[in-house]
Amino acid sequence: MQRESLGFQDLVPDERNQQPQLQPRNADTFSKPRRPLTEDEVLRLAQRYFISPAVAKEAYEVFGRYTAMEEQRRGRMNSSTMPYGRLTLTATKLPMMALPEVTERCLSGNLEVPEEKDSAVAKEKEKKGGGEDDGVTAWEPDTVSMKSTLCGEVKGQQQQQQQQHQQKKEEEDKREGAQNNESEKESKEVMEETLGIEGLQQFFNDLGIRMSALEVSDMVHDLNDEPIDYVLRLRAMEAAAAESQAVAAGSSSAGQGQTRRSPLSSKAGSSRRRGNSKVDLSSGKETKLSAPLVKDSSMEGVTFSQFLFILSHIRLEREESAEMKECEMRDLFHLLDTDGDGAITVRDIQTVVQRLIDEEVLADDRDIQQLSEMNTIELEAALMECDVDDDGYFTLEDMYGVLQP
């Protein structure tokens, strides 16, 4: 039977059983809406990494889930480090830019003017009052209107400055928006969203692959130091070099015992040995291929394109010991041995298959369907083929001998 493939939807850990943690105040900032993949992008990724479009879409959803989990975790850490308490603001007095003192008094609401600093106004009052000074300073309409005019001019200047500042801010926002639109258009082919080392480590742990943060960091740095395009080109060149060697070997063997190799085959072989030169099969010339000059080794994460490269090109298997494999085979044997007599019989196989079909577990699997269609004689013949020691029973020792390489 084929091994059951691991579904992407089972990779996200269930956080309901975890201890309650502080949630960020503005959770919306950590769960940004993600741009869906277009059909052209899905097809391009599927052709590039030799996967189906459905797998590419599902991988994009998994990538988004782990990215959101990582952002929420960072948000909780940031909120836990922020000090609690209210933020108190102290009022500061704006400096007056060479304005007269009367203007400052108008702004502060104090319209009283000392007599010693306004002698001209006091003299005019004495003349109008017949030279009698009763010690009470009365305000003249002209003086009040003058101060009101000054206050209005100052307020008008402030409003004008605020309008200019607001216009500048709007222009800067428009300029930034245009730049963002241009950057979004330029980066449409490249996913800007990255999955950090912590999220990638959690992804590996959910797959059952125990990797330390240092190992994940080394993998991320290797992917950023050696771009994916460069690695794929190297593999394509190695395949072309191997094909050219095979053609050269066939032509030399077809000759009359000649051991002389053609210049094209010798150059192709040297290209394969070095692994960094490109062979032009049409002209027989080799060109030096180097990695792109632009490298981003400081990038602490992988993009979705690199995430697909990890899934499709890097070997992701559990490093299981012999004891773990024997334990898994033992569990499988006890699962198939429904009656517990120490041997797997035809009745045990039929019981397990019928239970899987009734529970709609692997009901659409091709192997399960074939087993359900087999009769008793065919099942007995299949079990006898698995009887390694020829004792007439399919026991646990026979399963060890069948499944072990």
Distance, CA of 153 to chain centre: 56
What contacts 141, CB < 8 A, 6 or more positions away?
none
Provide, rounded to the nearest whole percent, the portion of the chain with pLDDT above 90: 6
**Which structure tokens are listed for 238?**
């190695």
The mean per-residue pLDDT over the stretch 332-352 comes to 91
For residue 90, pLDDT over 80 is answered with no
For residue 40, pLDDT over 70 is answered with yes
DSSP 354-390: HHHHHTTSSTT-HHHHHHHH--HHHHHHHHHHT-SS-
Residues 290-310 have pLDDT tens digits of 333 344 445 678 888 888 888
> What are the angstrom distances between the C-alpha of 207 and each of 8, 11, 95, 171, 211?
10, 7, 63, 50, 11
User: What confidence tier does 346 reach under pLDDT thresholds 50, 70, 90?
Assistant: very high
Distance, CA of 2 to chain centre: 32
| Of 115, 110, 111, the residue nearest 134 (C-alpha) | 115
130 versus 350: the higher-pLDDT residue is 350
For residue 21, pLDDT over 50 is answered with no
* pTM for the whole structure: 0.37
Judge residue 200's burial from the number of C-beta atoms within 10 Å of its C-beta, 0-12 exposed, 13-18 middle, 19 or more buried.
buried
For residue 76, pLDDT over 50 is answered with yes
Distance of alpha carbon 303 from alpha carbon 258, whole angstroms: 52
Distance of alpha carbon 208 from alpha carbon 220, whole angstroms: 19
Per-residue pLDDT at 359: 82
322-403: CATH class: mainly alpha
User: What confidence tier does 46 reach under pLDDT thresholds 50, 70, 90?
Assistant: confident
For residue 367, pLDDT over 70 is answered with yes
Q: What is the mean pLDDT of the chain?
A: 67
Per-residue pLDDT at 269: 40
Residues 156-171 have pLDDT tens digits of 777 778 888 888 888 8
Going from N- to C-terminal start, the domains of the chain cover: 9-14+21-79+190-225+297-319, 228-290, 322-403
Distance of alpha carbon 212 from alpha carbon 190, whole angstroms: 28
176 versus 84: the higher-pLDDT residue is 176
Per-residue pLDDT at 178: 67
Residues 210-260 have pLDDT tens digits of 888 888 888 888 777 655 655 666 677 778 888 888 887 776 655 544 444
